[in-house]
């Protein structure tokens, strides 16, 4: 090889080697704290392994997974988690579109509206849960006081002591907390839509509604898909707000899949079955992620071709 080309080759090789060397600490840390626990959990899901048996593990294959689908508590946790995810994400996307459109409109005091909308998102989830628990208290909660003052109820409602009302309050609390996040994503998408598209539509005689459904919403599809993906993954792993607000009660009415997994693994010390539940959650999350990533990729490609 000619010395000139050899020098270029070695220079490029050294540059790549230096780059790999720079990211090596990140790869090591990520492997220790992310990759290893995942594979360790999947490995344990094929064993009968309890805290009471010490280090004794018995390989049982897919028995934990077969037991899981016969477990009524798992079925209850899964059904509630899916119901919670579908309702909250749907409402949050609708509210996110409305709030983002309002925050994007030029008017005096726009900054104040943005601050008000984003305040719930800035509050830590655990604090938000305790706030809602205080507001719906059946003795001194502001919810009951307002409803009683307006004459809608005669006796205070024990919101967190009934299955239906406890689920309703939990869903409401999560919508209040995370709708601003969706609004922020949609607002960023709105501000990236070329104004020339709306101007051209106005010249063609299109009204505000026609422009919104023909231009704005199609342009927002990648952003909405991203928002739905992030929120679905987060909703499927919901734990903190439940722990603060209802702790899974009354009974197991608001126990999510993640809460049941945590209790099985740490409280009951059933490591094998807990790992199985955790692996199942991981599988669902990966399937949803792959599905939405494909949707987002297709939307971006279509937008690029246009």
CATH of the domain at 213: 1.10.3720.10
- Dihedral over alpha carbons 111, 115, 116, 120 (to 10 degrees): 160
In DSSP notation, 233-257 reads HHHHT--HHHHHHTTT-STTTT--H
Give how many domains the chain has, as a whole number: 1
In sequence order, the 6+-apart residues with CB closer than 8 A to the CB of 125 are 177, 240, 241, 244
Q: Is residue 231 part of a domain?
A: yes
Q: Report the C-alpha gap between 292 and 97 in whole angstroms.
A: 19
Find the DSSP H helices in the chain: 3-30, 36-44, 63-68, 72-104, 110-122, 125-135, 142-149, 163-191, 195-203, 208-211, 217-236, 240-245, 257-262, 271-305
Q: Is the sign of the CA dihedral 214, 218, 220, 221 positive or negative?
A: positive
Q: Is residue 82 part of a domain?
A: yes
Tell me which H or E stretch contains 154: none
Q: Is residue 43 part of a domain?
A: no
| pLDDT one digit per residue (tens) for the chain, 306 residues | 555 545 554 555 566 676 677 777 888 887 888 888 889 999 999 999 988 777 788 899 999 999 999 999 999 999 999 999 999 999 999 999 999 988 888 878 778 888 888 899 989 999 999 999 999 988 888 999 999 888 888 888 899 999 999 999 999 999 999 999 999 999 988 888 887 777 777 777 777 788 778 888 888 888 888 888 889 989 999 999 999 999 998 889 999 999 999 999 888 889 999 999 999 999 998 888 888 777 666 655 554 444
CB 9 within 8 A of CB 1: yes
250 preceded by cis ω (within 30°)? yes
Q: Is residue 285 part of a domain?
A: yes
Q: Which two tokens stand for residue 125?
A: 């989830």
Burial class (CB within 10 angstroms; exposed 0-12, middle 13-18, buried 19+) of 199 = exposed
Q: Is residue 13 part of a domain?
A: no
Range of the domain at 93: 71-305
Give the HSE-up count for residue 56: Cα atoms under 13 Å, Cβ half-sphere: 4
Q: Is residue 109 part of a domain?
A: yes
Please provide the average confidence, as pLDDT, over all residues in the chain.
Answer: 85
pTM metric for this prediction: 0.84
Q: Report the C-alpha gap between 96 and 77 in whole angstroms.
A: 27
Give the pLDDT confidence of 132-190 residue by residue, as tens digits.
999 998 888 899 999 988 888 888 889 999 999 999 999 999 999 999 999 999 998 88
Q: Which of 113, 97, 262, 85 is nearest to 183 (CA)?
A: 97
Percent of the chain with pLDDT over 70: 90
Q: Is residue 7 part of a domain?
A: no
Q: Is residue 224 part of a domain?
A: yes
Q: Report the C-alpha gap between 161 and 251 in whole angstroms.
A: 9
Q: Which two tokens stand for residue 196?
A: 């020339």
**Residue indicated by tokens 């199609």:** 218
């Amino acid at each position: 090889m000619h010395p000139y080309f050899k020098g270029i080759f070695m220079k490029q090789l050294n540059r790549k080697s230096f780059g790999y060397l720079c990211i090596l600490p990140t790869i090591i840390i990520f492997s220790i704290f992310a990759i290893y626990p995942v594979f360790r959990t999947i490995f344990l899901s094929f064993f009968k392994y309890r805290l009471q048996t010490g280090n004794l593990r018995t390989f049982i294959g897919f028995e934990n997974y077969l037991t899981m689908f016969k477990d009524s508590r798992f079925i209850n946790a899964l059904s509630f988690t899916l119901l919670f995810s579908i309702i909250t994400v749907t409402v949050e996307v609708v509210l996110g579109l409305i709030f983002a459109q309002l925050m994007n409109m030029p008017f005096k005091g726009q900054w104040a509206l943005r601050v008000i909308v984003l305040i719930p998102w800035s509050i830590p989830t655990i604090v938000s849960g305790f706030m809602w628990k205080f507001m719906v208290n059946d003795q001194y909660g502001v919810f009951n006081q307002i409803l009683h003052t307006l004459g809608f109820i005669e006796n205070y409602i024990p919101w967190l002591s009934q299955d239906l009302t406890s689920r309703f309050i939990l869903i409401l609390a999560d919508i209040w907390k995370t709708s601003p996040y969706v609004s922020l994503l949609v607002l960023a998408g709105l501000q990236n839509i070329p104004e020339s598209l709306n101007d051209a539509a106005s010249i063609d005689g299109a009204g505000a509604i026609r422009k919104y459904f023909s231009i704005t919403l199609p342009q927002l599809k990648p952003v909405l898909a991203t928002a739905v993906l992030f929120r679905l993954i987060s909703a499927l792993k919901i734990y903190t707000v439940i722990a603060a607000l209802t702790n899974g009660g009354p009974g197991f009415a608001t126990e999510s899949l993640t809460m049941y997994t945590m209790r099985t693994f740490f409280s009951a010390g059933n490591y094998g079955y807990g790992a199985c539940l955790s692996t199942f959650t991981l599988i669902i999350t990966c399937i949803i992620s792959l599905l939405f990533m494909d949707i987002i990729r297709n939307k971006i490609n279509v937008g690029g071709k246009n």
